Each structure stands twice: as structure tokens, then as C-alpha cells.
């Protein structure tokens, strides 16, 4: 099993930390992982993205041009990475702020209204965990116990009191994700 | 090799009034006759012997006339790249806090190419001793202008005399560093007369003793002559030094126990 | 198994230094490697092991602090990125000349000049051919993963002390910045002063009455003496070439074509290899792990079995010269590179193989 994921959005949306928590959970489950923040010209324009690879085997290139899953949190990232999803792959996006919806017909597409939900619950800081929950619902790559360990490892000790909220957000995300287009 | 003739029966312990310290290696110094380096070497090594810290001392020699100081000082030493001695000494003292560490540097080494290393080691308050020989010239490379060359003073790269508007001012780096809080003891001495030699030795002792207290840099400038570079006899050069160098680089303590010594305004001849 | 962590390459270097029993780190901030010193400062290694960490005033000072520490037999390390490593060349040459052990990490960024802050492999020549003055070499290790960033610190110190030579870890901004799973080796206690003196009788540690004084220098004004120094260094380098070559091969058994790449480029080529093999192209990967000593014989052997070699580097063609020297002119050897901080993608490497080597 190898899962190649791009997570992309604005800086400040918790893109890098979502990737880190996912990757650290993978480490805790003794998977091979790599977490590669955006490098090169795509860093410009206030967008942030990270490539996360989780695998049972040694990981080759940490830099990819096509992905099994794209998790998209703003319009620029959708424009950029929709075409980078492998045929038959998965695209998850938060419709908040999206004006041009995906057009691909050969991929599975889901939405997760995480920004709205986080706003309603007053949990905007862990909006990214709602998104992660949605992804894990579709692709349970790591087990909840290892997510817990991943949170413990990736959050500084002073933020450990927020772990229950983070786990709650993941659960909310699992219930929130909705299929838009299923090809199979 | 033949036995030197002095090793006869007249050399008896009760007759000896002066003896080379064992901390100076028994070989001819590479310095020009009349140069102050040899005297400072001796004062430094005698002090280490008197303090009985030969085995606890690590020295750093510079690039310049004293590049080979490690051949004459019978202690463990490192030869630094030009100007970098304070960086070496910083690491050595931090990694061996119980050792006595010193750098021995000339004016080109300390006040030109090594200015950054000097100032930052002093400003961090590293706990080693800097011995700075200022003779206002690059001796080893053949008498070029140094950062401390006096206005109007001739050198091979200021053959008509240092022209301040085009060549800049001489740098009183000792006064500069004395203002840094990391510097605990600063003094300017000379070694051209017996009384000055004694004062220099006292300063060296004070500087090394200070290392036991972790109080920061001890900095000793020795204003010295360079009769070869200055194109004078040793006697002429010492007289010239008194008349020209000392007014610009006045002797005496500049900072003692972390406090600047109050001074009368000195009129500086430019 | 050792402790499992998800770490950046730069953090792994720092943690490995503490665990390897390093005595002192001296550095100066520069992107993309500042996390090394940041991690060290946050970890308070002085409390963990007694290790000293000092932020110097420049890379020039850092490397000369290394010279000072190494001259007294201590395990010392610095890290920087390309422009900073250029400033260190003076000190590296002095350390090679004075035969001092140290580990220098270069997290390479795009150049020349101030360049970019993105990853590059353009410092290969500087590292492998001797960026400073004089006839010298240093051992150059090229990690391709965060795990190797960790492991090469320990290996680097072992080799540095075994041969009394500076060792460079030639990494890049991507491996420095990316996070991967790392299995940390168990901490090795720092040597006591007595152990240090016993293991390193050449070091300037303070002269006891019963031994001669020790002089650490790279100066010998007598040309005959300096020639002897050079001959001794060259003999040492031949010994290193004989004993310390490290490389990795993947899919070379049935390969008709070969990628040769180090560090991050080798990771990309591994993916390219999978993509090419899916198209029916039998391509293997040769990854030098030591860039000096270069795996001359192993590449020469493989060169006799394949039809062509594509050397993939994040530079304009540097290691390719050593590949050509190793293989000779019997087969086609081409270079594919991106520069200035651009990382080649696996697809473009496959395309380069198809157009430059197979169809070229």
C-alpha cells in the first residue's frame, strides 16, 4: 500500500500541520512516511501545500506530479491540483470560497463543509482536523489509536489539552463528508 | 654537535642570576634582533611557569611575525588562520573550561583581517586572554601598512607616509574593545625598558589569574617596535616608538575589574 | 529498535549530533538549514550531554571555532548552506592541512551567489574537488533521506576521527526541510577528557611534563617538509578510497539502462525507474552514498553491462564528470538536470531517459 496525497490551501489554514499529524500517525503505526512542504515557485501567492506519502514500503520520490488524493482548501489549489489527481483517484474539497467546481469525470469527488462547521462550533482552530476526519473516513490509512499518538507527538506539550477537541473534530469530519461524484 | 662553550664549571646554581625558563624551547628565535616579540614570549612563558600551569594551558598563535610562536613556546598550541585566533580560542575555552587559553596576535591579524572575530569574542565575554602586539606594521610580509600605522608613517604600501584622507585613520582597537561589557581587563604596555617589561609581566599574570574567575576577556596590548620594518636601528626604533607611538597609543590600564579607568584628556598628535 | 520520530532532515542532524556524543556545535543562521541550530538551542544539549552550542558571528568564525575545537580532539560540528559553506572554505582547507576531524553539513541551495533558498546539488564540485586552496580532499557523504541525515552524522564522526579529516554531509534544502520517519540510534555518551586524550594523542590538550608539546598547524615553511605533508595526505586519501566507498544499487540486475544520481535526485530517479519499468524500459539506479571516495569500480562494472547512463543531478552537470571518468567512452552518458532550486519531477526524468539515451 502506498498513498500519495497533496494537501493544499492558504497559509494559516493548517495545511502543513494536518499533513504532519497524518504523517506522524503513520509513523506511530510504523508505516513509511514522507512530508514535503511546497518548494519552488508554487510557494508564491500565499498558498501552502504539502505532499504526504504513507506507505508500507520504502518511499521513493518525495516530490510528485500526480497524486492518489488531493485535499483542496481554496480555489487556487483546486485550479492547480485538480489535474494532478491520478485517474480513479480522490479529490476532496471544502466548498467554502469555491466558485469554479471540479470538472474531472474520471475521479471520485467529495466535499466537506469543514469551514462552515468549524465556524458554527467555534472550533475554527481545528478546522483542519475536520477535513482530516473526512479523508480518514474514506481512506482509513491509520487507526484512531495511532492518530491519538500522532497528535501527542506532533503537538507541543502545552497544547496536549486540545487533543480531545482535535479527536472530536476528526469524528465530526467523518460524518460531514459527502460524495459529489463516484465513478465506481 | 659540539657542546656550547658556556657549559663549563662557572655555570653553577649559586652563580645563576638569570635562566631561560624551560617553557621556552631551546632554539634561536626567528625574530629580528631588537624586536619585542622575544621579550613578550619570555614574560608569558615565565608567568605560566610561575603559575605552574604549563599542562593546563593551550595557546593560539596567529599569522604574522609570531606565526611560529608555537615553535618557541613549550606548550600545546594551535596555529590559526589569519585573524581567526579568537574564534579558535572561543571554542577551546568553551570545550575546556578548566584550561588557561590565550591568543597571541599582531596588529594586522587582530585589528584588520580578524576584527570581527576579535570584537565578537570580546563582546561575548569569552574567558580567555588576548595578547596583542602592536608595532604599526606588517612585519612578516615585508613592512606594509597596518591598521595601526600612524598618520604620515612610511611603510612599503604607504611609501610617502600614511595619507589619512585616502588610507584612513589608524585604529585604536584597544580603546574600542574596552567599551564592550564582555571585556574585564584592558591594559596597554611596552617592553622596551626593564621597568616596562616588569609591568607587562605583571599584566600577563593578572590576565591569566582572571581566567580562574570567569569574568570575561583580559586584553593586553603591547606597543612594540619593528626596527626592520621601520628601517631603524633597535635603539632608534625604541626612541621613535616613545616619541610617536606612545602619544597615539598611551600606555597604562584602560579597564580594570570591568571598570574603565578615568583618564586625563590626552592630546593626540595626528 | 531505536526511538521512532517524524523529523525534518535538519532536526535529525541536530538530534544525531547530540546522540553521537558531539562536544560542540558552532554555526550561523542561513536558510534552508537554520533548524539545525534552532533545534539544538531548544534541546539544551548542555543539560542532556554537556554539549556546547554557540551561535557564531559568521561562518568564517564557525569553521575556525571548529578548527580550534577539533585541534583539541573534541567532536565538533557545524552546518550551513551554500553561501555560508563558501565562506568556510578557508577553514576547511586549514583543517584538511592540519589533519583535524570534524563534521560539516551543507544543506545546499541554488546558486551561484546569493542564489535561491530552494534545494540544489550545485555544490558537488566544491565539496568533492576541494573548494578551498591546496591539494586536499574531504570525505563527502550524500544522504538521500532523513534517516540518512541522522545516520551520516554518526558515520561522519567515525570516519572523521578514523582518518583525522573533515567530513562533509552534502545534503540539500529538500532533505533538510522534509519530514520522514526516523529510527534514532541510542545515545552514545560523550568521551571523558581522559578517554579523549587516550584516543587522540595528537590533540593539543595541555602539555604534561612527560611529553613533547603538540603543535596543530598546516604550515611548513620548508617545501620539502610541505611535500611530505602532501604525500601523507595523498596516502591517506588512497586509503580512504580503498576502504570507505559506499553506494546503493536498485534494479541493476537486468538493467539495460542506468540512472546515476545521489541524494534527493536518486529518490526521484527511483520513482522514475518504477514509471519507466511500467512502460517496459529496463532501467536501474546507481546511487553513490560517498561522493568522495567515489564508487569508481562499481560504476565501471555496471557501465560494461548497460547500453547507456543518464546522470540526474540538480545542477548543470557535475557528478557526470566522475561518472564519465569511471566508465570511459564506451557507452552513451548524458546528463539531465534542473537548476537554481527547481527539483526535476519523476516524469521529466523518464522523458529525458527516453529522448536523450534510448532514442537519442
Can you give the pLDDT of all 270 residues of chain B as single tens digits? 555 555 556 677 888 888 889 999 999 999 999 999 999 999 999 999 999 999 999 999 999 999 999 999 999 999 999 999 999 999 999 999 999 999 999 999 999 999 999 999 999 999 999 999 999 999 999 999 999 999 999 999 999 999 999 999 999 999 999 999 999 999 999 999 999 999 999 999 999 999 999 999 999 999 999 999 999 999 999 999 999 999 999 999 999 999 999 876 555 554
Peptide bond into B184 cis (omega under 30): no
**Max Cα separation, chain C?**
73
How far C228 CA sits from the closest chain B CA (Å)? Answer: 19
Q: Give the chains touching C; criterion: ≥3 Cβ pairs < 8 Å.
A: A, B
Which of A23, A37, A60 is nearest residue C274 as measured by Cβ atoms?
Answer: A60
Which pLDDT does position C69 carry in this prediction?
98
Which pLDDT does position A41 carry in this prediction?
46
Q: Give the chains touching A; criterion: ≥3 Cβ pairs < 8 Å.
A: C
In the block, which residue shows the cell 467529495? A110
Q: Within 13 A of C5's CA, how many CA atoms are on the CB side? A: 17
* Reported confidence tier of residue A135, pLDDT bands at 50, 70, 90: very high
Cell numbers found for residue B214: 570567569
Residues found in chain C? 360
Please judge whether B95 and C205 are an interchain contact, meaning their C-beta atoms are less than 8 angstroms apart.
Answer: no
Radius of gyration of chain B (CA): 18
Q: How far, in Å, CA of B171 to CA of B183, rounded?
A: 18
C350 bridge partner residues: none
Mean pLDDT of C240-244: 98
Q: How far, in Å, CA of C169 to CA of B99, rounded?
A: 31
| pLDDT of C342 above 50 | yes
Strand, coil or helix: B144 = strand
Residue C122's contacts (CB-CB under 8 Å, 6 or more residues apart) are C82, C108, C110, C111, C112, C314, C315, C316, C318, C339
Helix/strand/coil percentages in chain A, nearest 5: 45, 25, 30
Share of chain A above pLDDT 70, in %: 95
What's A13's DSSP letter? S
Domain spanning C3-194: CATH superfamily: Thiamin diphosphate (ThDP)-binding fold, Pyr/PP domains (3.40.50.970)
Whether B24 has its CB under 8 Å from any CB of chain C: the answer is no
Which pLDDT does position B17 carry in this prediction?
84
Buried b / exposed e along B176-211 (16+ C-beta atoms within 10 A): ebbebebbbbbbbbbbbeeebbebbbebbbbbbebb
CATH 1.10.1240.10 fits B33-260, yes or no: no
In the block, which residue shows the cell 526516523? C182
How far A119 CA sits from the closest chain C CA (Å)? Answer: 31
Assigned CATH for C247-358: 3.40.50.920
Whether C337 has its CB under 8 Å from any CB of chain A: the answer is no
Which pLDDT does position A61 carry in this prediction?
94
Nearest to C63 by CA among C103, C118, C23: C103
Please judge whether A20 and C179 are an interchain contact, meaning their C-beta atoms are less than 8 angstroms apart.
Answer: yes
Peptide bond into C32 cis (omega under 30): yes
Please judge whether A27 and C119 are an interchain contact, meaning their C-beta atoms are less than 8 angstroms apart.
Answer: no
How far B263 CA sits from the closest chain C CA (Å)? Answer: 32
| pLDDT of C355 above 90 | yes
Sheet holding C332-337, edge to edge: C247-250, C283-288, C257-260, C308-313, C332-337
Q: Rounded to the nearest 10 degrees, what angle do helices A163-176 and A144-154 cross at?
A: 130
Main-chain phi, psi angles of B255, to 5 degrees: -145, 130
The count of other CB atoms within 10 Å of the CB of residue B40 is 24
| pLDDT of A174 above 60 | yes
Domain boundaries, chain B: 33-260
Whether A60 has its CB under 8 Å from any CB of chain C: the answer is yes
Q: How far, in Å, CA of B93 to CA of B87, rounded?
A: 10
Q: Which CATH class is domain A2-181?
A: alpha beta
By the 10 Å C-beta count (0-12 exposed, 13-18 middle, 19+ buried), A59 is classed as buried
Examine chains C and A and say if they touch (3+ CB pairs below 8 A). Answer: yes
Q: How far, in Å, CA of C185 to CA of C31, rounded?
A: 27
Strand, coil or helix: A110 = strand
For the whole model, what pTM was predicted?
A: 0.93
Whether B211 has its CB under 8 Å from any CB of chain C: the answer is no
Whether B258 has its CB under 8 Å from any CB of chain C: the answer is no
Q: Within 13 A of C206's CA, how many CA atoms are on the CB side? A: 21
Which of C6, C174, C268 is nearest residue A39 as measured by Cβ atoms?
Answer: C174
Q: How far, in Å, CA of B222 to CA of B201, rounded?
A: 11
Residues found in chain A? 184
Whether C268 has its CB under 8 Å from any CB of chain A: the answer is yes
Amino acid at each position: 500500500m502506498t498513498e500519495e496525497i497533496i494537501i493544499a490551501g492558504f497559509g494559516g489554514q493548517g495545511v502543513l500541520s494536518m499533513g504532519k499529524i497524518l504523517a506522524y500517525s503513520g509513523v506511530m503505526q510504523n508505516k513509511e512516511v514522507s512530508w514535503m512542504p511546497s518548494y519552488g515557485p508554487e510557494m508564491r501567492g500565499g498558498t501552502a501545500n504539502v505532499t504526504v506519502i504513507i506507505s508500507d514500503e520504502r518511499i521513493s520520490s518525495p516530490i510528485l506530479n500526480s497524486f492518489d488524493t488531493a485535499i483542496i482548501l481554496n480555489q487556487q489549489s483546486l485550479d492547480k491540483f485538480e489535474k494532478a489527481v491520478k485517474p480513479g483517484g480522490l479529490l476532496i474539497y471544502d466548498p467554502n470560497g469555491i466558485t469554479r467546481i471540479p470538472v474531472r469525470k474520471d475521479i471520485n469527488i467529495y466535499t466537506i463543509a469543514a469551514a462552515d462547521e468549524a465556524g458554527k462550533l467555534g472550533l475554527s482552530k481545528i478546522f483542519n482536523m475536520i477535513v482530516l476526519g473526512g479523508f480518514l473516513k474514506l481512506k482509513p490509512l491509520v487507526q484512531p489509536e495511532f492518530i491519538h499518538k500522532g497528535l501527542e507527538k506532533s503537538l507541543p506539550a502545552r497544547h496536549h489539552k486540545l487533543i480531545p477537541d482535535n479527536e472530536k473534530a476528526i469524528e465530526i469530519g467523518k460524518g460531514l463528508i459527502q460524495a459529489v461524484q463516484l465513478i465506481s | 654537535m659540539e657542546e656550547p662553550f658556556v657549559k663549563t664549571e662557572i655555570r653553577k646554581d649559586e652563580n645563576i642570576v638569570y635562566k631561560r625558563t624551560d617553557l621556552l624551547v631551546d632554539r634561536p628565535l626567528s625574530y629580528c634582533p631588537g624586536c619585542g616579540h622575544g621579550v613578550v614570549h619570555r614574560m608569558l612563558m615565565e608567568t605560566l611557569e610561575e603559575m605552574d600551569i604549563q599542562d593546563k594551558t593551550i595557546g593560539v598563535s596567529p599569522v604574522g611575525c609570531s606565526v611560529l610562536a608555537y615553535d618557541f613556546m613549550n606548550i600545546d598550541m594551535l596555529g590559526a588562520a589569519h585573524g581567526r585566533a579568537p574564534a579558535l580560542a572561543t571554542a577551546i575555552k568553551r570545550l575546556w573550561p578548566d584550561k588557561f587559553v590565550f591568543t597571541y596576535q599582531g596588529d594586522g591579524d587582530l585589528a584588520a583581517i580578524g576584527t570581527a572575530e576579535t570584537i565578537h569574542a570580546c563582546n561575548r565575554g569569552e574567558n580567555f586572554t588576548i595578547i596583542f602586539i602592536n608595532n604599526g606594521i606588517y612585519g612578516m610580509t615585508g613592512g606594509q601598512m597596518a591598521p595601526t600605522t600612524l598618520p604620515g608613517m612610511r611603510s612599503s604600501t604607504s611609501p610617502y607616509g600614511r595619507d589619512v584622507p585616502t588610507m584612513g585613520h589608524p585604529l585604536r582597537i584597544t580603546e574600542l574593545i574596552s567599551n564592550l561589557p564582555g571585556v574585564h581587563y584592558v591594559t596597554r604596555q611596552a617592553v622596551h625598558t626593564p621597568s616596562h617589561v616588569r609591568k607587562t609581566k605583571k599584566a600577563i599574570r593578572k590576565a591569566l589569574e582572571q581566567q580562574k574567575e570567569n569574568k570575561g576577556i583580559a586584553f593586553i596590548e603591547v606597543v612594540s617596535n619593528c626596527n626592520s620594518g621601520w628601517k631603524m636601528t633597535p635603539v632608534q626604533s625604541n626612541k621613535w616608538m616613545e616619541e610617536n607611538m606612545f602619544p597615539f597609543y598611551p600606555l597604562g590600564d584602560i579597564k580594570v575589574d570591568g571598570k574603565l579607568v578615568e583618564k586625563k584628556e590626552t592630546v593626540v598628535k595626528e | 529498535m531505536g526511538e521512532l520520530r517524524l523529523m525534518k532532515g535538519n532536526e535529525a542532524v541536530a538530534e544525531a549530533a547530540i546522540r553521537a556524543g558531539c562536544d560542540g556545535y558552532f554555526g550561523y543562521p542561513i536558510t534552508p538549514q537554520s533548524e539545525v541550530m534552532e533545534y539544538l538551542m531548544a534541546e539544551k544539549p548542555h543539560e542532556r550531554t554537556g554539549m556546547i552550542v554557540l551561535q557564531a558571528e559568521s561562518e568564517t568564525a564557525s569553521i575556525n571555532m571548529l578548527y580550534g575545537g577539533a585541534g583539541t580532539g573534541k567532536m565538533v560540528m557545524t552546518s550551513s548552506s551554500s553561501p555560508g559553506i563558501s565562506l568556510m572554505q578557508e577553514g576547511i582547507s586549514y583543517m584538511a592541512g592540519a589533519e583535524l576531524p570534524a563534521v560539516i553539513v551543507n544543506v545546499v541551495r541554488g546558486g551561484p551567489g546569493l542564489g535561491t533558498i530552494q534545494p540544489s546539488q550545485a555544490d558537488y564540485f566544491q565539496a568533492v574537488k576541494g573548494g578551498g586552496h591546496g591539494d586536499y580532499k574531504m570525505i563527502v557523504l550524500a544522504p538521500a533521506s532523513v534517516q540518512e541525515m541522522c545516520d551520516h552524522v554518526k558515520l561522519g564522526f567515525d570516519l572523521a576521527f578514523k582518518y583525522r579529516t573533515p567530513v562533509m554531509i552534502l545534503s540539500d534544502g529538500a532533505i533538510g526541510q522534509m519530514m520522514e520517519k526516523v529510527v534514532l540510534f541510542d545515545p552514545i555518551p560523550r568521551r571523558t577528557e581522559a578517554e579523549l586524550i587516550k584516543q587522540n594523542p595528537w590533540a593539543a590538550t595541555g602539555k604534561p611534563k612527560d611529553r613533547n608539546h603538540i603543535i596543530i598547524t598546516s604550515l611548513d615553511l620548508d617545501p620539502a617538509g610541505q611535500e611530505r605533508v602532501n604525500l601523507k595526505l595523498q596516502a591517506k586519501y588512497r586509503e580512504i578510497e580503498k576502504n570507505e566507498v559506499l553506494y546503493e544499487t536498485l534494479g541493476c540486475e537486468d538493467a539495460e539502462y542506468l540512472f546515476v544520481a545521489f541524494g534527493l535526485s536518486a529518490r526521484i530517479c527511483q520513482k522514475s525507474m518504477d514509471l519507466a519499468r511500467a512502460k517496459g524500459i529496463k532501467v536501474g539506479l546507481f546511487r553513490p552514498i560517498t561522493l568522495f571516495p567515489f564508487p569508481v569500480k562499481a560504476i565501471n562494472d555496471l557501465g560494461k553491462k548497460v547500453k547507456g547512463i543518464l546522470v540526474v543531478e540538480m545542477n548543470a552537470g557535475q557528478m557526470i564528470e566522475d561518472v564519465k571518468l569511471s566508465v570511459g567512452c564506451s557507452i552513451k552518458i548524458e546528463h539531465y538536470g534542473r537548476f537554481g532550486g527547481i527539483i526535476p519531477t519523476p516524469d521529466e526524468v523518464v522523458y529525458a531517459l527516453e529522448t536523450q539515451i534510448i532514442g537519442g
